[in-house]
Amino acid sequence: MDRNLAAPDLEMLAEAAWWIGRLGACIAARERAYVAYMGNAAHPQAAMVALALTKDCFAKREVQVAQGWLNSAERQLQQVQESVEHGYLARLRSVIAFEGLRDFDTALAKAAQALDIGTRFGDRDLMAMALHDRGRVLVARGQVAEGMALVDEATVAAVSGEPGPMTTAIIYCNTITACKELADYRRAGEWSDAAKRWCDRQAISGFPGMCRVYRAGIMRVRGAWLEADQEARRACEELREFNLSYAAESLYELGEVRLRMGDLTMAEDAFRQAHELGRDPQPGLTMLHLTEGKVKVAAGMINRALSDESSDRLHRAALLPAQVTVAVTAEELETARSAAQELDEIATAYGTPALAARAAGSWGELRLAEGDAAGSARHLRRALHLWQEVDCPYEAARTRVLLAVAYRAEGDEDTAVFELQAARTTFERLGAVIDTRRAIEQAGPGAETARPPAVSEERADRTFMFTDIVKSSGLVEVIGDAAWPDLIRWHDQTLRALFARNGGEEIDHAGDGFFVAFKEAASAIECAVAIQRMLSDHRRSHGFAPQVRIGLHTATAARVGPGYKGKGVHEAARVGALAEGDQILASRETAAAAPRFVVSAPRAVTLKGLTEPVHVVSIEWR
């Protein structure tokens, strides 16, 4: 970093570092800018830098350091006449009161003060943020129509280009957060699309990591699980050193996606990591344990999560449907009734279709458990209509399964089968493996007649990668059982980060190996080389890293749900099995896609189960 930069240049450097997710460099530049401004006795500018550092340190969860910078900003501004900087201080106080303390009255008062100062000084950025802050506080208080009107007004201004890029990023993030809490998925999707158009006009890929977190959530509820999985992984990689709260949220989203896909091991690992970073893993972890049949564990978790009755009502609205489902399963119908009643009251207060769908679905589930099939069907039909209205296919399909059970209890077998056909078709299209199976099991006799026609297979050209730790049993003996889980966790996180960075799509993770698909062979080779080099570097710097073998093969395969099948997949797996530790083995045609890497002379090999030989080469990565 140039030691001769002036304070304004240091601020520009800090903002550039922020946009590429380098928070440490951002903070270092701002600290130098603060000192430089103080040297010139320019107290208002120094205060603005101190306010930016306050937010940076809160993002790193360095609360006391953040408070110190906030105190410094206030002290600087006490020494000067009222200026626009006082408005930014009031705005930050509003955010802290709202997000940290849930003190809505103080938050509204400070937002009004910021808006007044911004208006008098003609600062469009401050005006937009203060207006937006007032809107989201009103939404949290239950004044949804009034609040969202202000949120929409401020967000229109942001994505139309009136404020600067940083202000646009802040407003977009807070808008999607408000939409998510309200379960207003349609509005969230519209604003996400608008923000993407704004990013395209600015020639940037998106807001640092945070944009991916929100897009992942929207993709998940809309049923685009593979895309959501990739967005969540990339967000986590970008945000681990930038904002721990957002990184935790990306891990939670990953857990939700994998839970729906039926990958319970990976879902639990994602929820665990989210919890370690401070994100309550509910209701996802509760539903995972319920899926595993651990009803008492699930009940304990969701009941503890809801034990704080003073928590935000919108947060409780996300937890209560899980409590109803768990309580019904445990035959604790009074608990289920209490949860359904509270959820209904919240849905009525906030008035969004998705909240109403949750409430109607919970009443339908409870009525079914009580033996009121006709009443259950009425509630479930309403829930189904609302889920379809907001384009949530997974929730709609789960509702259809319950509706089929209600119809069967009424003696309407034909309609029950009809609903099962629709539910199973959706589950198979989404790749919901466990739900596909249980849709039939829960419905009882005759369900097999509901099997829909086979889903058409989409064929695609992909380069498949198979990785595996060599001699893992021996490694366990060397490092011990206690250290092995930590090594595997590091191995998995390292490889997944490299998959995401190179555009790889994780298809399966069994034991200590991965199955990954790439659209481009060159990207797969670059990823494989990066893996081996990363392991080698870690071995030199830390004294140890596992030996991994990698196999690559390009082929046309059929896309089925979240995976691929066909001869090409088997060929790729066999190529991987032939590789040795620290080796990248690829079919000759695949290796030709990255001519900058040296390869060995090709050799013909006969792969198990295949008649035609395949020519393979070893890619030199050192």
What are the residues facing 458 on neighbouring strands? 559
Angle at 190 between CA 189 and CA 192, to 5 degrees: 65
pLDDT bucket at 508, cuts 50 / 70 / 90: confident
Who wins on pLDDT, 11 or 227? Answer: 11
49 to 53, 62, 76, 402: CA distances (angstroms): 6, 17, 11, 56
The pLDDT, as a whole number, for residue 539 is 80
**Least confident window among 18-32, 99-113, 120-134, 285-299:** 18-32
Are 378 and 345 in contact, with CB atoms under 8 Å apart? no
Over the stretch 540-589, which tens digit does the pLDDT of each residue have?
A: 777 777 889 999 999 998 887 667 888 889 889 889 989 999 999 999 99
- Which strand (E) or helix (H) includes residue 353? helix 353-369
Who wins on pLDDT, 17 or 510? Answer: 17
- Which strand (E) or helix (H) includes residue 556? strand 548-560
Residue 265 pLDDT greater than 50, yes or no: yes
What are the residues facing 603 on neighbouring strands? 616
> Which domain-ending residue is among 388, 421, 450?
450
Are 244 and 278 in contact, with CB atoms under 8 Å apart? yes
How many Å apart are CA 518 and CA 521, to the nearest integer?
7
In a domain, 231, yes or no: no
Q: Longest Cα pair distance anywhere in the chain, in angstroms? A: 85
**Same domain membership, residue 278 and residue 415:** yes
The pLDDT, as a whole number, for residue 553 is 95
Taking residues 380-405, report their average pLDDT.
94
Residue 266 pLDDT greater than 50, yes or no: yes
The pLDDT, as a whole number, for residue 473 is 61
Who wins on pLDDT, 520 or 472? Answer: 520
**Same domain membership, residue 181 and residue 106:** yes
Q: Identify the CATH number of the domain in which residue 512 sits.
A: 3.30.70.1230
In a 3-state reduction of DSSP, which class is residue 281?
Answer: coil
How many Å apart are CA 215 and CA 228, to the nearest integer?
7
Taking residues 274-301, report their average pLDDT.
94
**Same domain membership, residue 530 and residue 386:** no
The pLDDT, as a whole number, for residue 41 is 65
In a domain, 290, yes or no: yes
**Full-model pTM:** 0.66
**Same domain membership, residue 169 and residue 120:** yes
**Same domain membership, residue 270 and residue 195:** no
**Same domain membership, residue 366 and residue 418:** yes
Residue 132 pLDDT greater than 50, yes or no: yes
Taking residues 147-152, report their average pLDDT.
92
Are 601 and 574 in contact, with CB atoms under 8 Å apart? no
C-alpha torsion sign, points 537, 538, 540, 546: negative
Interstrand relation of 548-560 and 458-469 (parallel, antiparallel or unpaired): antiparallel
The pLDDT, as a whole number, for residue 452 is 43
Match 């942001």 to its residue by tokens.
158
Name the domain count of the chain: 3
**Same domain membership, residue 592 and residue 526:** yes
In a domain, 514, yes or no: yes
The pLDDT, as a whole number, for residue 303 is 96
> Which domain-ending residue is among 164, 181, 205?
205
Q: What single letter denotes the amino acid at residue 517?
A: A
In a domain, 306, yes or no: yes
Q: What share of the chain has pLDDT > 90, as a percent?
A: 51
**Same domain membership, residue 464 and residue 399:** no
CB count in 10 Å sphere of residue 486: 10
How many Å apart are CA 555 and CA 534, to the nearest integer?
27
The pLDDT, as a whole number, for residue 449 is 43
Who wins on pLDDT, 219 or 578? Answer: 578
**Least confident window among 17-31, 366-380, 409-423, 446-460:** 446-460
Interstrand relation of 548-560 and 584-587 (parallel, antiparallel or unpaired): parallel
Domain hosting 545: range is 458-618
How many Å apart are CA 248 and CA 49, to the nearest integer?
27
Who wins on pLDDT, 390 or 608? Answer: 390
How many Å apart are CA 84 and CA 121, to the nearest integer?
6
| Closest alpha carbon to 275 in 254, 251, 258, 292 | 251
Strands (E), 211-311: none
Taking residues 274-290, report their average pLDDT.
94
What are the residues facing 178 on neighbouring strands? none
**Same domain membership, residue 504 and residue 549:** yes
The pLDDT, as a whole number, for residue 190 is 79
The pLDDT, as a whole number, for residue 451 is 45
How many Å apart are CA 157 and CA 150, to the nearest integer?
11
In a domain, 191, yes or no: yes
pLDDT bucket at 610, cuts 50 / 70 / 90: low
In a domain, 225, yes or no: no
Who wins on pLDDT, 77 or 503? Answer: 77
Residue 437 pLDDT greater than 80, yes or no: no
Match 């978790």 to its residue by tokens.
301
Are 323 and 302 in contact, with CB atoms under 8 Å apart? yes
**Same domain membership, residue 445 and residue 463:** no
**Same domain membership, residue 420 and residue 291:** yes
The pLDDT, as a whole number, for residue 348 is 94
The pLDDT, as a whole number, for residue 475 is 63
How many Å apart are CA 356 and CA 146, to the nearest integer?
19
**Least confident window among 98-102, 472-476, 526-530, 589-593:** 472-476
| Closest alpha carbon to 568 in 579, 583, 552 | 552
Residue 18 pLDDT greater than 80, yes or no: yes
Taking residues 428-432, report their average pLDDT.
83
Taking residues 415-432, report their average pLDDT.
87
The pLDDT, as a whole number, for residue 390 is 87
The pLDDT, as a whole number, for residue 260 is 92
| Closest alpha carbon to 159 in 201, 127, 214 | 201
- The rounded mean pLDDT for the chain is 86
> Which domain-ending residue is among 399, 420, 450?
450
**Least confident window among 30-34, 230-234, 246-250:** 230-234
Residue 209 pLDDT greater than 90, yes or no: no
Taking residues 41-69, report their average pLDDT.
90
Task: Name, of 451-455, 479-483, 521-525, the range with top average pLDDT.
Answer: 521-525
| Closest alpha carbon to 238 in 589, 501, 420 | 501
**Least confident window among 105-114, 337-346, 420-429:** 420-429
Q: What single letter denotes the amino acid at residue 543?
A: G
**Same domain membership, residue 337 and residue 280:** yes
In a domain, 143, yes or no: yes
The DSSP symbol for 449 reads G
Q: What single letter denotes the amino acid at residue 383?
A: A
Q: Identify the CATH number of the domain in which residue 121 sits.
A: 1.25.40.10
In a domain, 329, yes or no: yes
Taking residues 258-287, report their average pLDDT.
92
